[in-house]
Structure 1
Amino acid sequence: MKTETARADYKHFLPLQTRWADNDIYGHVNNVVYYGLFDTIVNEYLIASGALDIHQGEIIGLVVETGCKYFAPLEFPQKLEGGLRVARIGNSSVTYELAIFKEREDAPAAEGRFTHVYVDRETRRPASLPAAFRTALEKLIV
């Protein structure tokens, strides 16, 4: 299968590792695991950049749309790298594009897309992205 992106198309990378429990009965990483990896990549970046306080922050992100295309199987044990970029920043929403790469490979094993709407922690109503959050995201925009 032809991928749509390559390693050079992503701005941030996170080393990852498959786990024993990730393999399914068919001997490869199950499709649901990819979404957990995508969530990990996005939230690691936001937390590390100081944009998101998952415990005390005024906003939280809710997933409103996801998608994934699979190109090559992964299995345990395997070292991976997760790539992240931002496709769109709205007033209260962000569309992230992600890829999972086998270590040192240029073509992704999978490409994903997440759209988060950021909402007030208490009211769950859409909230404008804070300046620090927007600044962190702008470093990843393509």
Structure 2
Amino acid sequence: MTDRQHLRADYRYFQPISTRWHDNDLYGHVNNVTYYSFFDSAVNTYLIEQGGLDIHEGGVVGFVVSSSCDYFASIAFPERIEIGLRVGKLGNSSVQYELAVFKQNEGEACAAGRFVHVFVDRQSNRPVAIPDGLRAALSVLLVG
């Protein structure tokens, strides 16, 4: 993911996030592992609000099976950021999200990552087809 710039215009949905005091590490910037929390929050907010995912009682849940992140510039508390989200691949039971971290009102990403969800039956933990409501919401974000 580091072979090209990641620009705001390349993403379809944005989730605003306020960094928190405890996100900073000893070096005075947001710790690298925190970016994964930002990604997870952005994706799940979208799935709940736009796709109707019921995280408490729904029959289907998404398991993260792969993830990565590349870092280009640091962010630090108290910056407000936005997580850009798009879908790179949409399969029968899985989806690959592509995400980027933008400082508010900036066009170039500070970090870019991806992760893959496999949707499974809550009881059996076996892969299932992505439910229609989720698939429709994810299709809106599909690029390429």
Matched position secondary structure for 1:49: helix
CA distance in 2, matches of 1:63, 1:57: 17
Aligned pairs (5 A) from 1:94-105: 94-105=95-106
Percent identity over the alignment is 54
Q: Deviations over 1:84-125 (max 9, x none)?
A: 000011110000000010010000000010101010000000
2:77 paired residue number: 76
How far apart are 1:5 and its partner, in Å?
1.8
How far apart are 1:71 and its partner, in Å?
0.3
CA distance in 1, matches of 2:138, 2:52: 9
CA contact (8 A) 2:30 2:77 kept: yes
CA contact (8 A) 2:85 2:99 kept: yes
5+ unaligned residues in a row in structure 1: which ranges? none
CA distance in 1, matches of 2:33, 2:7: 22
How far apart are 1:3 and its partner, in Å?
4.9
Change in Cα spacing, 1:2 to 1:25, as seen in structure 2 (3 Å) is: farther
CA distance in 2, matches of 1:119, 1:83: 25
Match of 2:120, as an amino acid? V
5+ unaligned residues in a row in structure 2: which ranges? none
2:120 paired residue number: 119
CA distance in 2, matches of 1:97, 1:2: 15
CA distance in 2, matches of 1:141, 1:24: 34
CA contact (8 A) 2:51 2:135 kept: no
Q: Deviations over 1:16-55 (max 9, x none)?
A: 1110000000111000000000000000000011431101
CA contact (8 A) 1:2 1:71 kept: no
